[in-house]
A and B are shown apart, each in its own frame.
Chain A
Amino acid sequence: MIDLNPDQERILNWRINSGGVAGVIGPAGCGKTTTGSFLAVKIVCEGYARKVLLVAFTNSAANEFCRELSILLGPEAAKFLCVRSGYAPGADTSLSIPFSNSIEVVRTKKIVICTTQSLRRLSGCIKFDNMIIDEAGIERLEHLLSPFTLGINQLGVNLMKDYISYETNNIIELASQSGIVATVVGDPKQSRPIGLADYDLSAMEWVLRCTKYDTLFTTHRLPNKLAMLVDEFADYGGLRAAHDIAARRLIVDKDIDNEFRSIINPDEVITWADLNGTEEMAGPSSWYNDIEAKACVKICCELRRVAPSKSISIVTRYTEQRRIITRYLRSLDVNVRVLTSTGALGTQADIVLFSIVRNNPERIVGAVGSLQDLNVAISRSKEKLIIVGNFETMLNCWSRSYDMNHRIKQNFPQKLAKLVDAKYGEVVQATSLLSY
């Protein structure tokens, strides 16, 4: 059985006893999916609602919900109460929850799990009196409106029209007043819809701006130093490591080779391997840095040798860098996951390497400089974070991007560099890694 932490308990009790639309901010490793699944189960099993819709942005996130529900309810009850709808090839059929788009089947189930894009496959005549919408940080407002349309209480609207028109000033309030009960979960500091204009708000930001919200502050992923770094970097206002994992450190099975000792250093949770690689343009909007890619691969090889059982991920902002690193790793037959920061959302690993890529005399870091990309990259690891890239470029870069409330612009790369150097980690020269 999964135990809830006090943050999760508080949020569960709040959402069970309140209606309308509300937000829950879930920083890295704080158990958003677990909280959402618990909430759905509690709502249905204790009779707070007849039908709950669980919406995820991707098929893998929807499958993750199904997995959690199967654990919480047990396979038999999950099979009886839940149904996975939407895009059949995207559904994990190894789970006990059946897949169906048939109105008859969906009607008989209490919890329906679907992705945002596939909601159109659900008939408009099926209504939900409660919904949990995950990953709203990556969604636009219009994404949020599609599940909302399945929760409008038309009868209530007709009866309460005058009151509603008096109370309502924006779309989120209109949704709340129209009988929609939705818990919108996400983290605008980790994700942002692709291509959304700088001044525009994501679905999650709309919710946070227009209605009540609470934050999950206990991370079960990040050890204390990392939790503190992420908290101060993204300004969460109190993110902390859960007691049982706070002191977690990397343990290696063998002596670390001299060349890598300061970089892999298990006593230090965060290390910045300062490297002077060369950035190159690729694709319509991508970049790569071959020296950095090779350095990452070298570090991974050593990590595989000294800590073979550990999971390792390399995160980078650019698809081209991912492609190059993957190719090198494959040629050496090293098993390491390489992800872009968008793809890394929702993933974790014991050890994470973050390849910065950008390095130029003008100190332009482009998309690497965004709060969300940096935050995701530094908040994936359970034991050790190694940032690979030019420290000076980041420290003195010109990047300025909006923080969540779009009021002030901040230089996030600089902020990260300063925090790692001065408070939470160590910057080490990694010139030896330049030879391959």
Chain B
Amino acid sequence: MNTGILDVRKTYNYLRKTQTHLVQSSEIATACVCQNLFKLDYPYGAIRSDKDYLIANTVHDIMSLCIGGPIIENWQYNSNDYENLTEKIVHDSYNIINEIINYTLDITNRENRSIQHDFKDRIDEIYHGLVTGICKRLMKKYDKPDRIITEITITNIKDHHEGRIDALLEYHHGYGILDWKTYDLNKTISGREKWQLIANNLLANYRYCQDEDDWNRYNFSCIVHNGGAYFPKLETIKKEVDKIKINRKFAFEVLCGKHVRAERPSFCPVCDKGMEGSKECLFYQIDSKLAHEGKLPAQYDKMTRQFFAKRYAILKERAETHLHKHVASTLIDQHGEEEALQRLERTGVICSGYFYDFDIEERVVMSRKDADFSLEPRRIVRIIGIEPKRPFLSCISEQASVMDVSNNKITLSFRSKVAVRRAKKQLFHLPIIMMRDELNLTRSMLRPIHQFHKLAADIFIPQELLPK
């Protein structure tokens, strides 16, 4: 028994000393728009949007349930009457929409948060727009899929890449990938959405072909937005893959604390349009220029060194949240999936053999035959449903925290009631493995350091040297 445990422990110890960062598809997209913009997020921690994402999140929740329900049920290939079809789907979605809206209102009420007066109308309007986009464009071009799975997290350890895909449409001959945006894509300028979609395509290739560069199972990819849909051509996608990989590498190296030069885009869409981030970008550009020229006051220089040390310590912590996944992947590479999972189970990193019992609100109770398992209250777990022929870390999964463990029962708290419904639909019928996971809270920790960095600059750097 000890050999297995020793092997796992050695792998942990070894990987702790390596870089276990993962770059999210959304972060790659940011770096594709502008590498400086990525750096404003990491390591600087300068970007925090005060926008309320309540509407966007609620629409995402609705879509994640409706696409596998009323939308696929009413799918009509090449229908000319998309308007009536849209109405029918919206009508059939009524119960889901209402339930999710009431649930969101209940949560905001519990937290005593204010909500905009036309919240319900805006949701209805956006959902209608997205369904129109699907009926008018997507159904026009593509057949009804065999099944649709939603909110899939895929981790490709080898390429340091992770992402959450809104929906995957599965056909016997391949997959289609779907992303939904709650705003009108025609009015956006940065192209960020497209980059994110392409980055997610690499993850989908990994899920279906075990190789991100294998496009054999690729069918289509699409961004559905308010009233329309955008389909990049495969040639366009393939042409841009290199850019994705370059920026993924860039982001990875920045997260690892390497000094990599960020390239400013020839056309700077964010700053030219005065969107968030531009002011901060200028600040850090001048800051590093002054540092390079040795013009910074000694006190400030000393303090900013401390700020950077802290920032990289936080990033290291972010990397550690991915450690369990790295260990699982390394062991699978070494011993094959079956043996690796057995070793991990003996060490208490994963737990298998659970069956869904029942759920109440956000909580799910599961049980297994015996009571000998290592999960403990407050632990975060990734609940993975093992799918045949899919890499372990690309299988359908959800994150939850352990609330209670007693005898052979475990109570898990999911992110939301919607996540529970989704799991009931697409996850709980699969053989379940729970793997230890961690929460990533790094962004909220970087933000105060940025604020103090600026405060220090304000005090120590002579005004004439700073951007207006």
Q: Which residue numbers of A lie inside 8 Å of B, CB to CB?
A: 88, 98-105, 117, 119-120, 124, 140-143, 145-146, 148-149, 152, 157, 161, 164-165, 168-171, 174-175, 177-178, 195, 197, 200, 281-286, 319-320, 322-323, 327, 330
Taken together as a complex, chains A and B put the C-alpha atoms of A282 and B306 apart, in Å, by 37
- Would B327 and A165 count as touching, CB distance under 8 A? no
Taken together as a complex, chains A and B put the C-alpha atoms of A145 and B29 apart, in Å, by 30
- Would A105 and B376 count as touching, CB distance under 8 A? no
Q: Which residues of chain B are near A286, meaning CB under 8 Å?
A: 348
Which residues of B (383-441) have their CB < 8 Å from a CB of A?
Answer: 407, 441
Stretch at the interface among B106-114, B126-134, B247-255: B106-114
In the complex, what residue of chain B is closest to A286 when comparing beta carbons? Answer: B348
- Would B9 and A284 count as touching, CB distance under 8 A? yes
Taken together as a complex, chains A and B put the C-alpha atoms of A145 and B448 apart, in Å, by 6
Count of A-B residue pairs with CB < 8 Å = 114
Taken together as a complex, chains A and B put the C-alpha atoms of A320 and B5 apart, in Å, by 14
Shortest C-beta distance, B230 to chain A (Å), equals 33
- Would A146 and B299 count as touching, CB distance under 8 A? no
Taken together as a complex, chains A and B put the C-alpha atoms of A100 and B12 apart, in Å, by 41
Q: Mark B293-318, 1 if CB is under 8 A from A, else 0.
A: 00001010011001100100110010
Q: Which residues of chain A are near B186, meaning CB under 8 Å?
A: none
Question: Is B84 an interface position by the 8 A CB rule?
Answer: no
Instruction: Tell me if B's interface is mostly helix, strand, loop or mixed.
Output: helix
- Would A283 and B445 count as touching, CB distance under 8 A? no
- Would A168 and B347 count as touching, CB distance under 8 A? no
In the complex, what residue of chain A is closest to B372 when comparing beta carbons? Answer: A327
Q: Which residue numbers of B lie inside 8 Å of A, CB to CB?
A: 2, 5-6, 8-9, 12, 50, 110-114, 297, 299, 302-303, 306-307, 310, 313-314, 317, 320, 327, 347-349, 371, 374, 376, 407, 441, 444-449, 451-452, 455-456, 458-460
Taken together as a complex, chains A and B put the C-alpha atoms of A105 and B297 apart, in Å, by 43
- Would A152 and B455 count as touching, CB distance under 8 A? yes
- Would B5 and A282 count as touching, CB distance under 8 A? yes
Shortest C-beta distance, B43 to chain A (Å), equals 12
Instruction: Report if A285-B317 is in contact (Cβ < 8 Å); known contacts: A88-B111, A168-B459.
Output: no
- Would B348 and A120 count as touching, CB distance under 8 A? no
In the complex, what residue of chain A is closest to B11 when comparing beta carbons? Answer: A284
Taken together as a complex, chains A and B put the C-alpha atoms of A87 and B303 apart, in Å, by 32
Taken together as a complex, chains A and B put the C-alpha atoms of A70 and B313 apart, in Å, by 38
Between A and B, 7 residue pairs with Cβ closer than 8 Å are A101-B111, A142-B446, A146-B444, A171-B306, A174-B459, A283-B374, A284-B327
Shortest C-beta distance, B264 to chain A (Å), equals 29
Q: Which residues of chain B are near A330, meaning CB under 8 Å?
A: 407
In the complex, what residue of chain B is closest to A319 when comparing beta carbons? Answer: B376
Out of A104, A174, A195, A197, which one reaches B455, CB within 8 Å? A174
- Would A142 and B310 count as touching, CB distance under 8 A? yes
- Would A171 and B303 count as touching, CB distance under 8 A? yes
- Would B349 and A283 count as touching, CB distance under 8 A? yes
Q: Which residues of chain B are near A152, meaning CB under 8 Å?
A: 451, 455
Shortest C-beta distance, B372 to chain A (Å), equals 8
Q: Which residues of chain A are near B448, meaning CB under 8 Å?
A: 142, 145-146, 148-149
- Would B320 and A174 count as touching, CB distance under 8 A? no
Q: Which residues of chain A are near B449, meaning CB under 8 Å?
A: 142, 145
Taken together as a complex, chains A and B put the C-alpha atoms of A330 and B445 apart, in Å, by 40
Task: Return the 8 tightest CB-CB contacts between A and B, nearest first.
Answer: A145-B448, A100-B112, A146-B448, A283-B348, A284-B12, A120-B444, A102-B112, A149-B451
Shortest C-beta distance, A87 to chain B (Å), equals 9
Q: Which residues of chain A are near B112, meaning CB under 8 Å?
A: 98-102, 105
- Would A146 and B347 count as touching, CB distance under 8 A? no
In the complex, what residue of chain B is closest to A144 when comparing beta carbons? Answer: B448
In the complex, what residue of chain B is closest to A177 when comparing beta carbons? Answer: B459
Shortest C-beta distance, A241 to chain B (Å), equals 33
Q: Which residues of chain B are near A320, meaning CB under 8 Å?
A: 348, 374
Taken together as a complex, chains A and B put the C-alpha atoms of A171 and B112 apart, in Å, by 35
